[in-house]
Amino acid sequence: MPILLSFIQSERISELSKVQQLTGAIGAEVTGVNLRELDNEKISDLWDIFLRFQAIFFRDQYLSPKELLHLANSFGTVLQPHAGLTNLTTTPEIMLAETRDGEGFGKYNTRWHSDVSFDQKPPSASIIQAVKVPPQGGDTLFASMYAAYDSLSEPLKEMIDKLQALHEGAPAFSWALLDPANIDGAERLEKMNQESPGAVHPVVRIHPETNRKAIYINRSFTTRILGLSEVESRNLIDLLCEHCEQVAFQMRWKWAEGDIGIWDNRCAMHCAVMDYGKAHRVMHRITLQGDRPY
C-alpha cells in the first residue's frame, strides 16, 4: 500500500503522488513526479521523503546532463568529482560510471561503501541516473545504517559510540587507477592523495537533520579504528561490516534506463552488483556537499 506524505511528517497530502516503501529497512519508489518541473514546495516534499527512506527512486525521467545538474542544484551544493573518478567533459560536475566488456568502473565498485567517506566533509547525498543498463543484472544494493546501529546490543553500542576511524581513498582506488588500461592512472592517484589524504570520522555518526545514529564505516575506505591494535581494529571492522551487510537491512534496485536514484550517504551504504558479464552499463552521478561527521 502506498505511504502518504502525511506519514512522513508532511502537514498535507502533496500533489506529488504515491510513495511506495520498498523494504522494511530502507528505500521508496516515488511515482507521479516529473523531476524537470519541481517548485520549492515539491522539492521540500521530496527531501522529506528522502530523509525518511534514505534512498528514493523515480522511473522514466530521462534527464539530460544539464537537467540532472539542475535537479542536483535544487537539493544542495554540487561537488566536483575527485581526481580518482572520470567526469563528463561537457558537464564536469557529473561523474561518468561506465563499464564495458567487463572493464571499467563497475569492475572496482562491488564492495560496500558510502561515497567518498575519506573526505573531511563527505557528500550528504548522491544523485544518479541510469543512462544505459545491461539486458540482465547490474542492480545496486543499499543498506540502512540506522537499522544496523539500532539492532546492535547495548554493550556494543556503548563501545563503538566512543570510537573514531580512519577513512582513506587511495588503497581502494589504486587497484583501478594503477591498472595498465588507465594511461594517466598514476598521475590521478597522486593528485587524489594530495587532495584527499584521508579523514578521521566517528564510527557512529549523528545525522545532522534527523538526529539519528548510524554506523559510519565501510569495507572500501575504512582502514583503521583508532586506539586499537591492528588486529583488534581489523577484527572490529570485519565484525561491524558483516553486521551492516545483513540482508535484513538491505534493498535492491533493478535499474531501467531513465531511472533516477537519490541516496543519503550519511546513513546508508551501497554496492554495485557486477553480474552482467561484458554488457555495457553507463551511469551519471552527482554528489552534494555534506558536513563534517560528528
Q: Which residues are catalytic?
A: 113, 115, 270, 285
In DSSP terms, which residues pair with 284 in a beta bridge? 96, 129
CB atoms within 10 A of CB 12: 10
Of 58, 168, 150, whose CA–CA distance to 113 is shortest? 168
> How far out from the chain centre does Cα 277 lie?
23
Residues whose CB is less than 8 angstroms from the CB of residue 7 and which lie 6 or more positions away in sequence, other chains included: none
Task: Give the H/E segment covering residue 7.
Answer: none
> What would you report as the CA-atom Rg of the chain, rounded to the nearest whole angstrom?
19
DSSP letter for 287, please.
E
CA dihedral 15, 128, 294, 216 (to 10 degrees): 120
